[in-house]
Structure 1
Amino acid sequence: MKDFEIFLAALPGLEAVLCDEVRNKGFKQPKAVAGGVVTRGGWPEVWRANLWVRGAGRVLARIDAFRVTHLAQLDARARRVPWGGVLRPDVPFRVEASCAKSRIYHSGAAAERIETAIREALGAPASAEAAVTVMARIDHDLCTISIDTSGELLHRRGHKEAVNAAPLRETMASLFLRQCGFDGQEPVLDPMCGSGTFVIEAAEIAARLNPGRSRSFAFETLASFDAEAWSRMRAVKSQREPAFRFAGSDRDAGAVAMSRANAERAGVGAFTDFQQAAISEIVPPQGPPGLVIVNPPYGTRIGDKARLAALYRTLGQVLRQRFSGWRVGLVTTEPALARATGLPFLPTGAPVPHGGLRVTLFRTAALP
């Protein structure tokens, strides 16, 4: 196959931040669109996107697109897709379809037609549990056929076992770090570190470790896969020793132990520090001013917010008194809680969906 469109999925509201990362990683003319970023390339670019890009949730290879207005037409056209160049006859697949504002409106019937076309054209078995997913999107009568090349969602880096309740996804954490201007050249502190996501992501960015280094991907079972070329790509090491350390603290001893274990598994234990400490006890780590980034509790029940306002007030007070020159990034569902810190926040972007809620990143410039 020649170059085709590659779609990197992002959470709504973070498309422009992901586009910035994709551009910086050297992909061709990336463009932010609803729900993600599109670029163009061949299979090596697909592999590279899965291995390198921190903020993408999944990577789709768009292998064909055509107009259809009824199921018989879809059936005929699906048989002309060059499945043999992408799928293997011995590897199970499944089809997911969605329809919007189209004359074909039954997604189940559309998925069934495409599945039958693949089975009869290729002989590959269909299975609801298959790791390889063919995705069909029929929007305004335009059917786009994509292959999900990632498999498991990309926030599952492959080296984090322990997580706390409602953890922030690594993909989201990396994009929030980028929005705060973090590029690996300064220290980072998370004073409510939970399972260590922000600290570990920051340390990996600074150490230039590929986010996909510890896991496998669905594209490894496709007909287009070249194991030797992939092995060479994975073998390229850009790792470096960070100039700073990355620190996390939490009042919960279990969270601190969890963060340390996760950092060791990620290979960044040597340049991360995790300590048990209350918010009132935090002090700047050694080195120049950097970034404090924190995802405090939000308080989804009535009555929680009054209790949490005191915690946010203490956090703001400590940061204003002890962290002159540092920037702050704070993630919360509640603008009122962010305001309780008394910190001089910059204008915010759109809220981002997270675990059934919508969270906003509040940022400051360097504190006076």
Structure 2
Amino acid sequence: MDTDDGLFDIYVVTFPGLEHALCAELRDLGFTDPRPGKGGVTVRGGWPEVWRINLEARGANRVLARVAAFRAFHLAQLDKRARRVAWAGILRPDTPFHVEASCTGSRIYHAGAAAQRIERAIRETLGAPSAADAAVRIKARIDDDLCTISIDTSGESLHKRGHKEAVNKAPMRETMAALFLRECGYAGTEPVVDPLCGSGTFVIEAAEIAAGLKPGRSRSFAFERLASFDAAGWDRLKTGGELRSPALRFTGSDRDAGAVAMSRANAERAGVGELTDFRHHAISDLMPPEGPPGLVIANPPYGTRIGTAKELRPLYHAFGDTLRARFSGWRVGVITSDPALAAATGLPFGPPGPPVNHGGVRVTLYRSGPLP
């Protein structure tokens, strides 16, 4: 919570199962003590750190600033203590807000009534209007009689980078793709190939990482509507950092010509069109690009979403056969919901990663070392 030094807990939401990958990313961003929990990672910081995580953390889905915490055993006490929060330093009186509440194992059990009390306390102490469709969202979580109040500083989910307008079936979110790339050991210094590229997410993310492009560079955030926002400081943060011109190519292919066209358009919007190459062909025609080996990563169809496992087994066979024949020295990452389909590749995968919810389906990352 907020303290005299201006620091507070920042809860960075991610996919359950990938918290440790996000933890590693936040350490790389300079946070010294990230603490993983279920579905997210907690760090300490102030408002500039909130802005930076929204702008730079590729694996973050949402960033919550935990601005207050207090015990509340009944609604009158909740109302009274909510009025003591220093709202004037957080919210603007001319900007609408909305409160959402949840209650677990507490004497206050009616989430709607709790949200109404906090909303009224803010209106009457600050004068700001409340609105159901407000861009500024306040989340109150009452757990075991402890009320924690957080500000959703992101607005739209952070996977919405502002570049991918066209998507194919079962698209992977950019934030998940970034964490799977990290789990495969990718750090922006090697080529990446996706032979089932769909809308190009893995290839575009890999190219952006190599080029030093910040994932949130093209979008707006809810924190820009808060009283704590400093436009000049934000502009300095957005324009800081070093852009690179990697001598690498990032390659995607797909047997669906429409998917290839989508991927090219998305890469152009992301500003990595010159670093990427998307081609229309089947997996059996896949050839490694010139240059050193790197990472092949793919999110093939799996029977719970597209086709059946029996129908898809030949695709996985062809994937494995092609890589074993032509991609010596390359590492492989495959995301699938079915261990039998992963085994059908015949690739030397190590122990699978933790299950991760991908659009209602539990998927797992299978990784290999360099192929012989």
- Alignment TM-score > 0.5, same fold: yes
Moved more, 231-240 or 82-91: 231-240
Q: 1:333 is matched with which residue?
A: 337
Larger mean CA deviation between 156-165 and 275-284 belongs to: 156-165
Aligned position for 2:313: 309
Q: Distance in 1 between matches of 2:241 and 2:162?
A: 18
In 1, Cα distance between the equivalents of 2:73 and 2:364? 40
Tell me the secondary structure at the aligned position of residue 66 of structure 2. strand
Name the structure 1 match of 2:21. Answer: 17
Aligned residue number for residue 240 of structure 2: 236
* 3-state SS in 2 of match to 1:275: strand
- What is the Cα-based RMSD across aligned positions, in Å? 1.1
What CA distance in whole angstroms lies between the structure 1 residues aligned with 2:128 and 2:70?
23
**Alpha carbons 2:329, 2:370 under 8 Å: kept:** yes
**For residue 350 of structure 1, what is the amino acid of its counterpart?**
P
Please tell me the residue identity of whatever aligns with 2:282.
A
Q: Out of 157-166 and 181-190, give the one that drifted further.
A: 157-166
1:182 counterpart = 2:186: yes
Which whole-Å CA distance do the structure 2 matches of 1:334 and 1:31 have between them?
Answer: 31
Corresponding residue for residue 292 of structure 2: 288
Paired position in structure 2 for 1:41:
45
**Distance in 2, Cα, partners of 1:357 & 1:185:** 31
Partner residue of 2:228 out of 210, 221, 224? 224
TM, length-normalised to structure 1: 0.98
* Alpha-carbon distance, 1:349 to partner: 2.1
Corresponding residue for 1:162? 166
- TM-score of the superposed pair, with normalisation by structure 2: 0.97
Offset at residue 236 of structure 1 (A)? 1.2
Q: 2:361 matched to which residue of 1?
A: 357
Q: CA separation in 1, counterparts of 2:252 and 2:112?
A: 47
Deviations 1:179-204 (A, max 9, x none): 00000010000000000000000000
Contact 1:330–1:338 at 8 Å: present in 2 too?
A: yes
**Residue ranges of structure 2 left out of the alignment (5+ in a row):** none
Q: Which runs of 4+ in 1 moved over 6 A?
A: none
Partner SS state of residue 353, structure 1: strand
Select between 312-321 and 27-36 the one with higher mean Cα deviation: 27-36
Contact 2:304 2:361 in 1 (8 A): no
The answer as to whether partners of 1:94 and 1:127 remain within 8 angstroms in 2 is yes
- CA deviations 1:134-193 (Å, max 9, x no partner) are 011111111110000000100000122111122100000000000000000100000000
Rounded Cα–Cα distance in structure 2 between residues aligned with 1:249 and 1:159: 19
Deviation at 1:242, TM superposition (A): 1.2
What does 1:1-368 align with in structure 2 at a 5 Å threshold? 2-300=6-304, 304-368=308-372
Q: Structure 1: give runs of 5+ residues left out of the alignment.
A: none
Q: Would you say the 8 A contact 1:28–1:41 is kept in 2?
A: no
Shift of 1:302: 10
